[in-house]
Structure 1
Amino acid sequence: MPKAPSAQAGPSKNNGGRPLKPIHKTVELLKKNEGAKRKGKGKEREILGDGVIGLIDEVKRLPGLIQVEKFAEARALEIYAFQSAIKIAAAQGSTRAFQSLPRHLRRRAASHNPRRVPKRLRSKAAAEIDSGDTIAKKHRKIARLRAKGTLRDHLSRTEQFALRQKNKTWLPTHLWHAKRYHMTNIWGYRLPITPTLKSFRPAYRAGRRKVIGFDTSYYGIIELEGQREEIISLLGRISAGKFAGIKYEDGSRVAKIMLYHFDAFPIHLIGEAEVIWQPILEGPNVRRVWLRLHPSIFNEVWDSMKIATSQLRHIGSSKIKELQIRDLRAGINSIDLIGPKAGKVLRRIMRLCRDEKSIKSQFFESLRYMDDPSHLTEGMMIGLKMHDPRLNFPPARLISRDIEDSDEGILRNNAIQPSSDLAQSSLWNSDIREDLSKAAYTKYQLDARRHRLGAPGTKLRLRSDDDRLPIMLYQRSITSSTSPSEGFYGFTILLPSGTWTQYLLSSMVYSGVLFGGIRERAIQHREAGIPSFPEHYGQTCKAGIEWEIRKGDKEKETHDRKPPGKRVEYGLIGTKDPWIANWDKVINGKSTEESIMNGSTKNKPWLLSSPFTAHLKSSLDPSALLKMLNAFRAQRSMSPISSERSQQMFETALVHVEVNVLGRGSPGDMAILSKIPLGERKLWIEAYEKAEKATAGEVSDLHKLGERLPDESEIIGYTSTGNFSLSRGQGYALATITLQGWVDLLKSAEEDNQIGWKGRTIVRVKNRDGALSRLAELKLIL
């Protein structure tokens, strides 16, 4: 006769002499359930196997009193097995092996190729693949042919990759990006647009709290070599902005300018450029200058410089005889690191050579305590020489205490000021760049050296024949004078071409750096309140027009693929130009087609950029604008603009502005900005102030005012990009409006005497796919 339950489970009642039914162990029940599953009875059978009624009968025979803690401890293994069985049963049939990996480790090929998952999951992945799936077999066949050399006429892997770059160029990190990013062909390169994983908020957090990186090796460099007077004479006739003087010519800082065609300022804009002077060396009075350019304008700048030198020689300028212009696109790569921890990441991934000057060693050590690159001078240049980053792999990762700010770090960084000695770098030497285009040791050779060390994770010892890599590091500020608190700060790294960019990227990713694409870079500029090139320069330069057309065609194609019931009918909501901004209608009151049919001269819009925007007032008129422009042209030895063109220049000028939505709503791309008539301004302000008091379900006065479609004569501009701003917690956009419209807004704002609203430039903003206008405030980007 079976014995009563153990005394550990507490006293039990007399069962009247009936035999007790034993309670089966959970493990045995699970085994029984697994057997039922193999027979095909599947999920519809209960986990315990005997049914709910049998379970209730067994519960009735349990002891009346138990000690919970001891009972749980005695059956902890069974409870764990029971919980695991529930999880397995829930996931069985609905989750595949490769889906159990973290998202950043998943690969598309893993759905049909079990070799693309870790070893521990390969047997399960192989069992899940359909027997008719031959994709993996085909890939293995191609791999065998490639190994035998019978594929593509015995071409090596490098030669095969070269064949795939006939009409575009790959970045040095292309293979890494192609597995993780959406790629596109643009500006002659194959570039990453955005990560395949969600990145809007992660990219913002990385730039604000830690660090985000961008491979900017697609930027090109033009080298100018000659006498100082030759360089200044050339750049002075094709640029706007400060680039010469003691502040920049010693090479300690990077200058930012706008480039134009020869003697064409302020029209015929080409784009942005960064000017880097080589530090002064002892010897002949020969200077070198690098112009760092976006790839969309590289060829245009190259042609413009050739024309400019030819024109200067034609007019008999003796300052331009021996100037040499070189293309360095194939010789220098670059990476941007943006975020407060950019300095600490550099300190982890780099190992400075011992023969560097003391001031450079001092700066390098200060990176350990750097809590924000904003503490450094803007554009500050540092030249360093570092060892092969693979010798220091793996680097230390950023940890939580690295995120804390340090007063010591601020003091150390403020003590280091820009200087010519700090900016010296052998990267200016073309022979050194060419020698370092190929690494001295391959990965296989370095792995063999590690293997001989014995203990895993041991850092390699430095040798005299190891590569020593010259780099140039300068502080980058993405900030606007109107909203400096929203800016981003970091570093730009210039280094020799070759595989060094990939080696640095591997170390950066290992240390915790998140990398972004073109979209994340543009969004970062928008959050900082500063236009990015060429996305925000539509209709003002050739590169901006090409970008706008490309974007508009893609959006129109996406729109046209949708059936009529699933797409926005722009004509019904008053949007006549949803894809590309129609500046002809805004400036001339006529569309482009009407201007061509009437044979009228097309007045092309031009951009009034900084520093001229800082002098705009409500009293500005065509003659005052022309006087300001001619004063600058006179400084650069350019002939003045005739007074007959003053009115035309005033009417066709455009300026960049920030759009801050007041209240609800978020502006998108191509939103319409229209001025508010003076009579309606008071109504909009009163409706906005009363909007917070409106009850639920009640249509506010602000909503009623926004229902009126803007008149075409009231439109003053369009947004180039907009969304909800994570920095500001409200709708925000960057836009372009007419100079005439901005002056009118200033006049209306000064005439307003309402408390708290005098001097505030407010407009209506209407999304292209919306029927309601919102109230917004504009701020000029200086």
Structure 2
Amino acid sequence: MASHPPKRKPAAPNFSAAAARKRQKTFDARSLAVQVADAALSASGELDVAAYVEAREYEIRSLESGIQRSKNALTSRAFQKVPRSLRRRTASHNVKRVPKRLRARARREMIEDNTPTVSSRTRKPTEQMRIRLETARRLQNLNAKTKAKRAAVKAQRDKEARKSLEESGSHAYEIAPRVPKIKKNKLSRPNPPEARFKKRQQCKTWLPTHMFHAKRAHMATSKDPLWRFAVPLSPTEKSYRPTHRARGSRGAVAWDMSYLATVQLEGSVGAIEGVLRAVGVEGEKAWGVKGRKWRAGTRGLRTLVYEWEGEKRPIAPVTLVWCAEVKGEDVEMVDADESGKQKKGKKGWRKVFVRVHPSAFLQLWDALLGVSKKQNPPVMVEDLRFEIGSIEITGPGATEALLASFKPVSVDGKDFAADSPEATWTSLLGVTNPASLPQDAVLGFSVSDPRLDFPPKTLKPSSSEEEMQRLAILLSSWSPDNTQTAPALFDRRARLAAARQLPSQKAINRRRTEAGPGVRPPAKDTDPKIPVMVLASRPTHSKSSSAPGTWTVLLPWKCVLPFWYSLMYYPLSSGGNPRFGGLKEQQQLSFESGEPWFPGDFPGTRAGWEWGLRERSEAKREWERRPKGRRTEFESIDLRNGQKGEIGRGWACDWERLVQGAAPEASKTTDKEQPSETESKPDDTTNPQDNDANATLPPLSIYQLSTSEATRALTDPSTTTTINASALATVKLTLLNRGTPSPRARIYRLPTTDRELRQDWLTLSSKQPYDGLRNELQKKQSRSTANLGPEDVQQQLAATLITPSAGDDVRQKHLPVPTEEDLIGFVTTGNYNLAEGKGTGIGSVLLSKVQKGKASGKNMCIIRSAGETVARVGFWELV
């Protein structure tokens, strides 16, 4: 009977032919040839010295050649010695692509391996390339002829015009460009792009640094732009750990935040205060004694704003900056065609910048517009989205990088006063953490064009005791609180003049060539004085006193690019250059500092809900792309609490299920067959700016509470009835022992119906849950072995070694998950926190369910990732 063929195919070797050849080459290079010394001995046993010496000489030469061959056969090439950020795909074929110190080795390796090194200049063009080159040359010649004809016609026309002017006795003056009219209470439009890039910006707007980021980062696609901007998502190279190190230990990380919207309010102080109060700017920090410096224009204010009518839902966190009060010697900046009566009427007017995330811009714009029209006199609302850009930078080297790029310039040519904002700014070289400055401090001044000093030189901070003492006195006294004048960035004429006077790169290169190598070109009267405003902020919810702060620089939109290149190529005193970050790096650093990131961690706002729908649709598409054998089947998960199947949608934070509870059995089948309205059209929520009237609102009256409101609701029993049942509070989650919370993980409170299970979770949450059990077992063992002989003791010891202990059983046993009744929220951001060295998360909890929980262990929670049956115990705190 014939034998059956094997059911499975024989396993293929785990290495390819190329790998085998490489391995054999390495083996041959490292093998040493030897010569037998038996020939040196004659038959009579006499030693032939000459033959013996020749054999040893052969072995020594073989050893030397083997060392050389082994060195030449290294597994690493010269181009692999280049840092990862400098590696390029063509590095192995072009010697000039590697640093100078490695070019000799790379050239030698290429000669030994016979690697072709043909450059593009000497390569013989192919037939297709030859046709393209000839066509380009022909078109170039035709274009040259056309340009020559056009220049001749223009010269003839100018000559005739000059002749006619001389005959008539008049003259020709160049008319200054008209200042564009202020678009009062109207949305602004982006500047028209260049003709060659116009097609690429039909559905989105490029940031000022788009060309820099497009070569080095993953960008938001044209089919799915973020908030109508081409936002960089993350650098192409691996940057998770380098970003963490650059912020905390050495270096700096910078972002182009020009996509953040800036709105200007202008009017009387009382009218502006009425507008801000109507959108929810309240409290001691704004209108009390604590807000005195903010109202004076020397501090910023970060707060949450709300809708001004209806349910007054939260909109977004914003940053508010007042224009500093005009001093007696300052002149009010008004249009030239305004009459003296208008000038007199505007003397008491103030201006305020409102900085908001673009996902919530239209919602805030409608609220501000509606409130401002009801004020008497009305407040003028101006959209400055494409007039003011911004750069954010954080890390120990952030201050010195900014000081090297943003060099103050005197407007009238005089020296800076001792306590002026310019002098204070230049004295901050020794600051390694912006959090050491007064919280939300504001500095406004004008700077020169950084391209005149490019590349920037390293500024080495002094470490002397006198310098540290002087810096401490400066930070404690903070003289700009008394000397800060009205920043020129609030003046529209100054912004437009800086953008128009900005010379081209060719003009800058011409001036640098005339000045000579290493010499700064002399200043000219026509050089632009670029107005900037610098804000120093710190994490508001961090418990650490040394938490890294952040610099935010506001400047004209068209002036962002020169400063960005100066920052990116600044050689830090600690080594290297500042890194750039994208949207994911922002989320990462906000998560590491324990701060909620807008809009992802604010599901109770319109912008946060739209972001959640976007994440939900992406997670569902990714889940559906997996084959059924390789994806988690959420419907068949056994939660070991009498419930089978995941709670809600496994690929989403199912807030509807949390608020409404479990649906009846009849409706569950219809939900599986028919997708919900929010999931059926995920593309409608991609750009909320398209149709603001039909924008998606959080269903079931879900809204986000601020930290103060949530704290008041949990501590004051009288507010239990006033808090809506759909109110969410943002919390920070910290796991007690092991585990890492993942996004979309479920958050439970301690069991409220099963007392025994609740006690088990409380026991598990104690810091040393097994010490008492271990001590009790040791006491029992000592009592049982007291009356036994030596042989019995040895037998009992051997039995305990092979039998698992009760403590091990308790450790290995996973407790059942609480029921759906104890579900209180979801994790919106979760990962291993490099700053804390353990798993943490940011999430939102339903405040009504938290209030119903028992007082003991109220801040304790149980976290279970979606699709898993193992839960971990942790704690939550409001942020």
TM-score, normalised via structure 1 length: 0.76
Q: Give the C-alpha shift of residue 374 in structure 1.
A: 1.4
Pairing 1:518–2:568 present:
no
Among 509, 517, 533, the alignment partner of 1:472 is 533
Kindly indicate whether the alpha-carbon contact (under 8 Å) linking 1:339 and 1:488 is maintained by their aligned counterparts in 2. Answer: yes
CA radius of gyration, larger in: 2
Pairing 1:704–2:790 present:
no
The equivalent of 1:762 in structure 2 is 860
Equivalent-residue separation in structure 2 for 1:127 and 1:403 (angstroms): 55
Among 663, 666, 669, the alignment partner of 2:740 is 666
The equivalent of 1:302 in structure 2 is 365
Equivalent-residue separation in structure 2 for 1:103 and 1:149 (angstroms): 43
Q: Give the C-alpha shift of residue 111 in structure 1.
A: 8.7
Pairing 1:374–2:482 present:
no
- Quote the sequence identity (%): 26
Kindly indicate whether the alpha-carbon contact (under 8 Å) linking 1:374 and 1:489 is maintained by their aligned counterparts in 2. Answer: yes
Shift in CA distance, 365/596, structure 1 to aligned 2, threshold 3 Å: farther
Among 92, 106, 112, the alignment partner of 2:87 is 106
Equivalent-residue separation in structure 2 for 1:687 and 1:135 (angstroms): 76
Equivalent-residue separation in structure 2 for 1:610 and 1:196 (angstroms): 36
Pairing 1:274–2:319 present:
yes
The equivalent of 2:305 in structure 1 is 259
The equivalent of 1:205 in structure 2 is 245
Shift in CA distance, 229/82, structure 1 to aligned 2, threshold 3 Å: farther
The equivalent of 1:610 in structure 2 is 707
Equivalent-residue separation in structure 2 for 1:118 and 1:466 (angstroms): 37
Number of residue pairs aligned between Structure 1 and Structure 2: 678
Equivalent-residue separation in structure 2 for 1:732 and 1:88 (angstroms): 49
Kindly indicate whether the alpha-carbon contact (under 8 Å) linking 2:749 and 2:860 is maintained by their aligned counterparts in 1. Answer: yes
Kindly indicate whether the alpha-carbon contact (under 8 Å) linking 1:651 and 1:739 is maintained by their aligned counterparts in 2. Answer: yes
Shift in CA distance, 407/134, structure 1 to aligned 2, threshold 3 Å: farther
Kindly indicate whether the alpha-carbon contact (under 8 Å) linking 1:192 and 1:517 is maintained by their aligned counterparts in 2. Answer: yes
SS of the residue 2:74 aligns to: helix
The equivalent of 1:334 in structure 2 is 390
Kindly indicate whether the alpha-carbon contact (under 8 Å) linking 1:762 and 1:777 is maintained by their aligned counterparts in 2. Answer: yes
Among 558, 567, 589, the alignment partner of 1:498 is 558
The equivalent of 1:548 in structure 2 is 612
SS of the residue 2:238 aligns to: coil
Among 649, 652, 665, the alignment partner of 1:577 is 649
Q: Give the C-alpha shift of residue 744 in structure 1.
A: 3.7
Shift in CA distance, 110/551, structure 1 to aligned 2, threshold 3 Å: farther
Kindly indicate whether the alpha-carbon contact (under 8 Å) linking 2:602 and 2:730 is maintained by their aligned counterparts in 1. Answer: no
Q: Give the C-alpha shift of residue 552 in structure 1.
A: 1.6
Equivalent-residue separation in structure 2 for 1:766 and 1:509 (angstroms): 45
AA aligned to 2:493 is D
Kindly indicate whether the alpha-carbon contact (under 8 Å) linking 2:266 and 2:380 is maintained by their aligned counterparts in 1. Answer: yes
Shift in CA distance, 165/276, structure 1 to aligned 2, threshold 3 Å: same
The equivalent of 2:381 in structure 1 is 325
Equivalent-residue separation in structure 2 for 1:118 and 1:362 (angstroms): 40
The equivalent of 2:265 in structure 1 is 224
SS of the residue 1:709 aligns to: coil
Kindly indicate whether the alpha-carbon contact (under 8 Å) linking 2:421 and 2:480 is maintained by their aligned counterparts in 1. Answer: no
Kindly indicate whether the alpha-carbon contact (under 8 Å) linking 1:687 and 1:700 is maintained by their aligned counterparts in 2. Answer: no
Equivalent-residue separation in structure 2 for 1:604 and 1:135 (angstroms): 68
TM-score, normalised via structure 2 length: 0.69
AA aligned to 1:445 is A
> Aligned ranges for residues 672-711 of structure 1 at < 5 Å?
672-677=746-751, 679=755, 680-689=757-766, 700-701=809-810, 703-706=812-815, 708-711=816-819
Q: Give the C-alpha shift of residue 165 in structure 1.
A: 0.8
Equivalent-residue separation in structure 2 for 1:682 and 1:589 (angstroms): 25
AA aligned to 2:623 is H
AA aligned to 2:86 is L
Among 266, 270, 292, the alignment partner of 1:246 is 292
The equivalent of 1:27 in structure 2 is none
Equivalent-residue separation in structure 1 for 2:650 and 2:817 (angstroms): 15
Q: Give the C-alpha shift of residue 530 in structure 1.
A: 1.5
Equivalent-residue separation in structure 2 for 1:572 and 1:527 (angstroms): 35
The equivalent of 1:444 in structure 2 is 506
Q: Give the C-alpha shift of residue 493 in structure 1.
A: 0.2
Q: Give the C-alpha shift of residue 227 in structure 1.
A: 1.4
SS of the residue 1:459 aligns to: coil
AA aligned to 2:581 is G
The equivalent of 1:344 in structure 2 is 400
Q: Which moved more, 1:731-740 or 1:402-411?
A: 402-411
> Aligned ranges for residues 16-165 of structure 1 at < 5 Å?
43=25, 46-47=28-29, 52-53=33-34, 61=53, 86-91=70-75, 101-107=82-88, 126=117, 148=140, 158-165=194-201
AA aligned to 2:514 is R
Q: Which moved more, 1:686-695 or 1:666-675?
A: 686-695
Kindly indicate whether the alpha-carbon contact (under 8 Å) linking 1:377 and 1:417 is maintained by their aligned counterparts in 2. Answer: no
Shift in CA distance, 447/761, structure 1 to aligned 2, threshold 3 Å: same
Q: Give the C-alpha shift of residue 375 in structure 1.
A: 1.6
Shift in CA distance, 509/461, structure 1 to aligned 2, threshold 3 Å: same
Q: Give the C-alpha shift of residue 748 in structure 1.
A: 2.6
SS of the residue 1:305 aligns to: helix
Equivalent-residue separation in structure 2 for 1:368 and 1:589 (angstroms): 57
Q: Give the C-alpha shift of residue 45 in structure 1.
A: 9.1
Residue by residue over 1:462-519, the C-alpha shift from the partner in whole angstroms, topping out at 9 and shown as x without a partner, is: 33332222110011112305x2447330210001111433433433443321111111
Among 441, 464, 474, the alignment partner of 1:412 is 474
Unpaired segments ≥5 residues, structure 2: 1-21, 40-49, 148-191, 333-346, 572-576, 638-644, 672-697, 775-803
Q: Which moved more, 1:107-116 or 1:424-433?
A: 107-116
The equivalent of 1:315 in structure 2 is none
Equivalent-residue separation in structure 1 for 2:86 and 2:741 (angstroms): 35
SS of the residue 1:340 aligns to: coil
Kindly indicate whether the alpha-carbon contact (under 8 Å) linking 1:676 and 1:763 is maintained by their aligned counterparts in 2. Answer: yes
Kindly indicate whether the alpha-carbon contact (under 8 Å) linking 1:380 and 1:475 is maintained by their aligned counterparts in 2. Answer: yes
Kindly indicate whether the alpha-carbon contact (under 8 Å) linking 1:673 and 1:717 is maintained by their aligned counterparts in 2. Answer: yes
Kindly indicate whether the alpha-carbon contact (under 8 Å) linking 1:486 and 1:529 is maintained by their aligned counterparts in 2. Answer: no
